[in-house]
Structure 1
């Protein structure tokens, strides 16, 4: 376990990196003894800095929910991070200079009407506690270098967890779906960048049902005395690969009968 002063210093690095849009080197390279729990401790320290600066937590995101991404990261379970209030963006133009190297993923967001507290939360509990599900786009970013500037080695999952699980933004659609109105597993979407289909996917790619990840999260945070609260927005995990973005790129996610989400980086 890293020393608390080290954890606090690394959290400060991340906050500075986000504010100044300048990436930092891999924590796991500097501290080879670093563990997943260290990653979450750094993340929590960064959250405390954001709260002290006046930010609020509006929900959570779950990442690494697909089998392929878990294998690539050499882990056996998802990761998670908070959704801060300044990470919510409306459709339309979004200033790209708020990010460093943004990428885009397709997800479903669960908006809760009741709290969920582990350790025994089930998929059925999640559906009962959900007010509605809404199509969404997650904007991910890397305050820690994705590839080491010297060795080109990819960052480790410990780095990603520290870095808010790569979370940077969310854009929500307009169509609200009651959780029992459709089979959520079969919700599909097309991700277009500049009128070209880059990715397609089904929500079943998220642990075979997107609500499974929400149940996992409620159970995972329970030992820390935390829970998912009524009103929280929970991003359940991507069912497409991340798509790179540059200034001028226009993204459209077509959910068929569930509507379209669109925005442009300016």
Structure 2
């Protein structure tokens, strides 16, 4: 069995069994990012689960440094939940709640030769939602934490997208300038804006449309895309309830039991 298939089976097993492991055998670490993304596709095949969406991370330099990358990264998402959502902390792999806009596609964005424009991609979006991504990682954050390609093979740490009701008339609103906050048990923990983190949710979405076009994968109508954190990364504890507030655009609640 090839090392790529061996890693794909391992990552699929860890997801199915809802567990993490420390480190990764050196021969299994993908040699580069392109190989890692190919393995992530093999993980999807091994799982046989429908790909309900995508996650994007590290649009700007600050997050790229935090995630040890020099470009944005992405992964497949298999779980979508409406707010309010209750999650059993012990069944999640080091969950991280991230305040993000969620874009739902109203039509396919298939692979093609010419790049997609921001206007085309924006036009393909059926709705934009306030959301929280519960990022997870199948590798424990310890001294043996493997290099970035191993994380990309694991879907760039994808977990669950939790979303609120669609934002009315979002194309005509100041999405970039709206402050979003993240509170736990009523205490403000983080705040940020799309302008500072990613310019506008349609910018990362267009980047992803072109990456998935270039690699022959494409995106499908109905898929939800988590466009990147506005508030960085926090580690929740059991018993905490996190609320993402997007002002007039709505809020999303996740409780960890």
Q: TM-score, normalised by structure 2?
A: 0.90
CA 1:50–1:90 in 2, change beyond 3 Å: closer, same or farther?
A: farther
Alignment partner of 1:10 is 2:25: no
List aligned pairs for 1:42-53, cutoff 5 A: 42-51=39-48
List aligned pairs for 1:5-154, cutoff 5 A: 5-27=2-24, 29-31=26-28, 34-51=31-48, 55-84=49-78, 86-88=79-81, 90-117=83-110, 118=112, 119-147=114-142, 152=143, 154=145
- Tell me, in whole angstroms, the C-alpha distance in 2 between the residues paired with 1:103 and 1:93: 14
CA 1:92–1:233 in 2, change beyond 3 Å: closer, same or farther?
A: closer
- Tell me, in whole angstroms, the C-alpha distance in 2 between the residues paired with 1:223 and 1:9: 26
Shift in Å, 1:174 = 1.8
Report Cα offsets for 1:59-92 as digits up to 9, x if no partner: 21111223212123343321111121x3435414
CA 1:154–1:179 in 2, change beyond 3 Å: closer, same or farther?
A: same
Q: Which secondary structure state, in structure 2, belongs to the residue aligned with residue 159 of structure 1? A: helix
Gaps of 5+ in 2: none
Alpha-carbon RMSD across the aligned residues, in angstroms, is 2.1
Q: TM-score, normalised by structure 1?
A: 0.87
Report Cα offsets for 1:84-117 as digits up to 9, x if no partner: 1x34354142222331211110000111212224
Q: Aligned residue pairs: how many?
A: 255
- Tell me, in whole angstroms, the C-alpha distance in 2 between the residues paired with 1:32 and 1:15: 15
Please say if residues 127 and 166 of structure 2, whose CA atoms lie closer than 8 Å, have aligned partners that are also in contact.
Answer: no
Please say if residues 73 and 156 of structure 1, whose CA atoms lie closer than 8 Å, have aligned partners that are also in contact.
Answer: no
Q: In structure 1, what is the equivalent of residue 252 of structure 2?
A: 261
Q: Which secondary structure state, in structure 2, belongs to the residue aligned with residue 191 of structure 1? A: strand
CA 1:68–1:172 in 2, change beyond 3 Å: closer, same or farther?
A: same
Gaps of 5+ in 1: none
Shift in Å, 1:237 = 0.9
Alignment partner of 1:157 is 2:148: yes
Please say if residues 29 and 147 of structure 2, whose CA atoms lie closer than 8 Å, have aligned partners that are also in contact.
Answer: no
Report Cα offsets for 1:120-178 as digits up to 9, x if no partner: 1121112211122101000011101223xxxx265422122111111111110124333
